[in-house]
Every structure is written in structure tokens, then in C-alpha cells.
Amino acid sequence: MNSHALSASEIAWPPAGADAWVFAYGSLMWNPCFPIESSSRALLHGWHRSLCILSILNRGTRERPGLALGLDRGGSCAGFAFRIAPAEVMTALDKLWRREMATSVYAPRVMPVRLEGGDRVPALVFVARPGHPQYVGDLAPEQAAALVAQGVGGYGTALDYLRNVVRHLDEFGIKDCPLHRVLRLAETASVRLEAKEAD
């Protein structure tokens, strides 16, 4: 674990007695691990959704890593913002740290997001940490697909993870064509990998 990663108690946010907002861009969108008071479609500027994180626990191993989502610099990202009541903030932060910070590949930041109605709120966002061994940046679609096809970890396959991500993004009406392309390539690569391993 990165010794410079902040703990939930060290971010000093939000102010005591205030609501907290969390920006979700991956599986947190449909599977939040904490009680929420309300939610809104939201847009984060300056960062984009990317398969830029090697999964070495949940959807892969150190020997055969899979690939998972992170937020990388540039562009913008459509997702959801969840509002947490003041009484639930510390419990929510503790659960988020357990879920997101196991290997410290993500960096927690508080950044403005624009809600569906146009309001801007400061939200906790977990972005990819460049320089971390699990960070791979923007890979070519074929490279990303190969990692997705091979990854199997404690939560299942990286391929099923990506299928789930793409399905939910489609249901939410969030367009992410690069992920669709990687999924198509990964489906093909998985069939080839299974045939090779069966020989």
C-alpha cells in the first residue's frame, strides 16, 4: 500500500454537520456501498472514464491481471452524484475506503461536479494515481482487451465486469464508445484464449 495515501479521517471533508457528495462513474453508480439521501446525474470536467487500472485482486491476480475502470486526466465524465446525510458521512467514508483504497491505486480528491439541474457541488472523487504499479494509462484497445480477456479474481472475470459496466452505461443512456470497442475485442480474445488453453 502507498504510504502517502490519505485515510478517510485525513481528508478533513466535508465540514462538520454538512451533507457530503460522492461522484460515481463505475460500479458505484448501480451498487453504492453506503446509504444515500438523494442522487442526481452529474458531470465531472477534466477527467474521463478509462480502463486504466490493473485489477490484481477482484478481477485478476498479480500474475495475470485483469483491467478495471479509473478516472484519467482529460475530457469529461458523465456519472451520478450521491448525497450523504451528515449522520452517515463517517460510516460512508469508512465503507468507501474499504472498497476503493485496498491497494491505494486511487487518489481521493474533492472536486466540483455539475448536477443535472445545473448546480455545482463539491464531491469526493476517486481518480487514478499515476505512478502506481497498477496504473497503466490509456492502452490501445487491443492491449486492453487482452487484459480483460485473461483476468480472473476474487469477484469473477474482468470480462463479466466490463459486460456489466457497458450494460449499465447503456441503460443509463451514457455513451462510452471506447468501452464498447474494448468489449467486442475482449469477447473475441476470450474465445481464442479458451481454445488455446483447451489444447
pLDDT in tens, 96-144: 998 899 899 999 999 999 999 999 999 999 999 999 999 999 899 999 9
Q: Which SS3 state, helix, strand or coil, does residue 14 take?
A: coil
Residue 57 sits in which domain range?
A: 8-198
> What pLDDT is attached to residue 1?
36
Give the count of domains, the chain: 1
- Residue 109, domain member (yes or no): yes
Omega of the bond leading into 65 within 30 degrees of 0 (cis): no
Within a domain: 111: yes
pLDDT of 2 strictly over 50? no
Of residues 110 and 1, the one with the higher pLDDT is 110
Rounded to an integer, what distance in angstroms lies between the CA atom of residue 6 and that of residue 97? 10
User: Any bridge partners for residue 153, and if so which?
Assistant: 156
The answer to whether 79 and 165 have CB atoms below 8 angstroms apart is: no
Residue 183 lies in a domain: yes
Statement: residue 77 has pLDDT above 70: yes
- Poorest-pLDDT segment among 9-18, 26-35, 116-125, 161-170: 9-18
Q: Which of 121, 95, 99, 98 is nearest to 110 (CA)?
A: 121
pLDDT at 177: 86
Q: Could you tell me where the beta strands, DSSP code E, fall in the chain?
A: 20-24, 38-55, 66-84, 106-115, 120-128, 152-153, 156-157
Best CA proximity match to 26, nearest among 56, 5, 47 = 47
For residue 14, tell me if it sits in a domain: yes
On whether residue 2 sits in a domain, the answer given is no
Q: Is residue 3 part of a domain?
A: no
Question: Which pLDDT band, with edges at 50, 70 and 90, does 4 fall under?
Answer: very low
Residue 1 lies in a domain: no
- CATH number for the domain spanning 142: value is 3.10.490.10
Exposure pattern of 127-151 as b/e (b: 16+ CB <10 Å)? bbbeebebbbeebebeebbbbbbbb
Query: Is 120 within the bounds of a domain?
Result: yes
* Predicted TM-score of the model (pTM): 0.88
Instruction: Report the pLDDT value the prediction gives residue 111, as an integer from 0 to 100.
Output: 94
Q: Percent of the chain beyond pLDDT 70?
A: 92
Mean pLDDT of 38-48: 96
Q: What pLDDT is recorded for position 5?
A: 54
Is a pLDDT exceeding 70 seen at residue 62?
Answer: yes
Spatial CB neighbours of 157, under 8 Å, sequence gap ≥ 6 = 59, 66, 151
Distance of alpha carbon 100 from alpha carbon 83, whole angstroms: 18
Average pLDDT score over residue span 85-93: 90
| Rounded (5°) CA angle 80-133-183 | 50
Cis, peptide link before residue 14, omega less than 30° from 0: yes
